[in-house]
Structure 1
Amino acid sequence: MVKLHVKHGDESQFLYETTTNIPIDDLIHQISLLYNGRLKVHRICNEMSMLAKHGITLPVNMQGLTDDQITDLKLKDEYEDTCIPMDGYVEEVDAMGKRNGRAPTEKMRSIIERTIQEAKDKISKKLVQADQCVTCDQINEALQQLKGAVMIVYPMGLPPYDPIELEFKNQEELEGTQDSLDVIPEPDMTIWFSGKEMQRGKVLADFVGKNEKTKVIVKVQKKGNAAPARERVVSEDEQKQMMAYYYRKQQEMKKLEENEDSSYMDSAWADPNSLKRQFQGLNDIKWKPR
């Protein structure tokens, strides 16, 4: 099995294990599921973190309004008294005005926070350093864990317009958000290896060879964008270590120069022209004034 170290730009994403005879179309499909699936888990984790701090999302027409404005406009959150966390709630006002400020209690909050961390660990970029691959099963398991935690803390469910609920139903609306810039839909995804795009209709072996016991770096890119930059000859960490090494050497040489006694340079044996004068018989010449 060949291992693909998948990157986006210079940033590592995950490791994926496959065979060299996989069609590029299938490879793009699989990597698209993993790449966008990881983004989905992180989006849900971010929203759940806010859920634990400030409660459920307000209706769109109430977000960003003050209490006085809501009263004047006679707006009402119909899910306010229905979607209540288990064990009650504590008042935690959302400064952004996006959530209703009815946060879960400390016990329920800890369930959400612990599940968030477990889900992130399953798809962490640190797995690349540990040489561990990410699979679709791991992503699905992370999603199920997050969904289970929400059901425990909010047994009556979340409002249908809550971003978390929309994510679980695959109805999220990302257009116009920063998250939409990170997502690469499968039809728009291209994979690059060694500065060349892997063309659909071919197989992986056409680009990386038939050796199954190999590990290569590939980069995902949106169709139509310029080719991704080539890999650095040395990594950022290696470059920092080299700079630190040469800086230490420079300081050591500077210290030696400051402490060095150069009086020996006045000695006859240190004269670089001494041997030449000796052969020419000019060593003992003395100057006498007229």
Structure 2
Amino acid sequence: MVKLNIKRGDDSQFLYETTVETSVDDLLTDVTAIYNGRLKVHRICAEVEDLAEHGVTLPPNMQGLTDEQVEELKLKDEWGEKCVPSGGHRDNPDKIGRRNGKAPNEKMTEVLKKTAQEAKDMISKKKVQAEQYVTQETVQEALNILKGAVMIVYPMGLPPYEPVKLELENNEDLQGTQASLEVIEEANASVWFCGKEMLRGKKLKDFIGKNEKTKVVVKLQKKGQGAPGREPVVSENEQKQMMAYYYKKQEEMKKLETQQDDSYLDSPWADNNQLKRSFQGIKDIKWGPR
């Protein structure tokens, strides 16, 4: 099986396993699904952590308003009254006025936060160094445990405008957000190897060879962005080791220079003119007082 280190720019995203017989089209389908799925998991985890701290999202027409403004406009959070966390709530106002401030109790808060961390660990970039693969099944499992935790804490469900609910049901609207710039649609995706685009309609072996026991770096990006930067000759870790080695050698040389003992220069064997004086017969002449 071929190991692909999928990168976005210079940043490793996940490790993917396939064969050289895989078509570029199938590779793009799978890789973009995993890449976008990881983004979704991270978005949900961020919202789940906010949900654990400040409760459900306020209706769009109440977000950012003060209590006085809400009272003056006679607005009411009907869904907030229905969607009560299991075991009751604790008051923890949201400073930006996005959530209703009725957070789950400490035990339920821990359930949400612990699950969010577990989900992030499942699709973490650290798995690249650990030689662990991420698949669509991995992403789906992370989504499932997040959904399960939310159902435990909010058995009555969440408001229809709650981002966590929209994400879990694939009804999120990312248009105009920073998150939308990170998503790569399959039709607009391309993969590159050694500075060359891997063209659709061909197989992986047409670009990386027929050796199944290969590990290569493949870069994912949007079409029209040109060729991504080539991989450095040495890795960042190797570069750090080289710099540390040469710094150590430099310090050792400085130490030798400062501690060098020049007393040997007074020894007869260090005298460059000793042989000359020996031939002239003036080697052992001692000058006395005049």
> How many angstroms does 1:160 deviate by?
0.7
Measure the CA separation in 1 of the matches of 2:80 and 2:160: 13
Match of 1:229 in 2: 229
Match of 1:162 in 2: 162
Residues 202-228 of structure 1 show CA distances to partners (whole Å, capped at 9, x for unaligned) of: 111100011111111101011111311
Aligned ranges 1:1-290 → 2 under 5 Å: 1-267=1-267, 269-271=269-271
Matched AA of 2:44: I
Measure the CA separation in 2 of the matches of 1:233 and 1:32: 27
Root-mean-square deviation (Å): 2.0
Q: Is the 8 A contact 2:80 2:159 kept in 1?
A: no
Match of 2:288 in 1: none
Residues 246-280 of structure 1 show CA distances to partners (whole Å, capped at 9, x for unaligned) of: 222211211111111113335453356767x589x
Measure the CA separation in 2 of the matches of 1:241 and 1:272: 44
> How many angstroms does 1:238 deviate by?
2.0
Measure the CA separation in 1 of the matches of 2:11 and 2:282: 73
Matched AA of 1:42: H
Residues 153-181 of structure 1 show CA distances to partners (whole Å, capped at 9, x for unaligned) of: 00111111111111011111112222122
Where has structure 1 moved over 4 Å in runs of 4 or more?
A: 271-275, 281-286
Matched AA of 2:89: Y
Measure the CA separation in 2 of the matches of 1:44 and 1:283: 96
* Number of residue equivalences: 284
Secondary structure class of the residue paired with 1:79: helix
Residues 176-212 of structure 1 show CA distances to partners (whole Å, capped at 9, x for unaligned) of: 2221222111111110101111111111110001111
Secondary structure class of the residue paired with 2:53: helix
46-55 or 15-24, larger mean C-alpha shift: 15-24
Measure the CA separation in 2 of the matches of 1:92 and 1:2: 50
For structure 2, list consecutive stretches of 5 or more residues without a partner in the other structure. 286-290
Residues 100-156 of structure 1 show CA distances to partners (whole Å, capped at 9, x for unaligned) of: 100000111111112112212221222211211111111111111101111110011
> How many angstroms does 1:283 deviate by?
8.9
For structure 1, list consecutive stretches of 5 or more residues without a partner in the other structure. none
Overall identity of the aligned pairs, in %: 62
Measure the CA separation in 2 of the matches of 1:202 and 1:61: 51
CA distance change for structure 1 residues 273 and 179 in 2, over 3 Å: closer, same or farther?
Answer: farther
Secondary structure class of the residue paired with 2:15: strand
Superposition TM-score, scaled by structure 2 size: 0.92
Residues 35-78 of structure 1 show CA distances to partners (whole Å, capped at 9, x for unaligned) of: 10011111101100000000001111211111112122222212
> How many angstroms does 1:89 deviate by?
0.3
Matched AA of 1:113: K
Matched AA of 1:31: V
> How many angstroms does 1:241 deviate by?
2.1
91-100 or 174-183, larger mean C-alpha shift: 174-183
Matched AA of 1:109: T
Superposition TM-score, scaled by structure 1 size: 0.92
Measure the CA separation in 1 of the matches of 2:272 and 2:65: 87
Measure the CA separation in 2 of the matches of 1:28 and 1:278: 85
> How many angstroms does 1:5 deviate by?
0.8
205-214 or 244-253, larger mean C-alpha shift: 244-253
Matched AA of 2:127: L
Matched AA of 1:78: E
CA distance change for structure 1 residues 269 and 174 in 2, over 3 Å: closer, same or farther?
Answer: same
Secondary structure class of the residue paired with 1:62: coil
CA distance change for structure 1 residues 218 and 109 in 2, over 3 Å: closer, same or farther?
Answer: same
Measure the CA separation in 1 of the matches of 2:281 and 2:21: 83
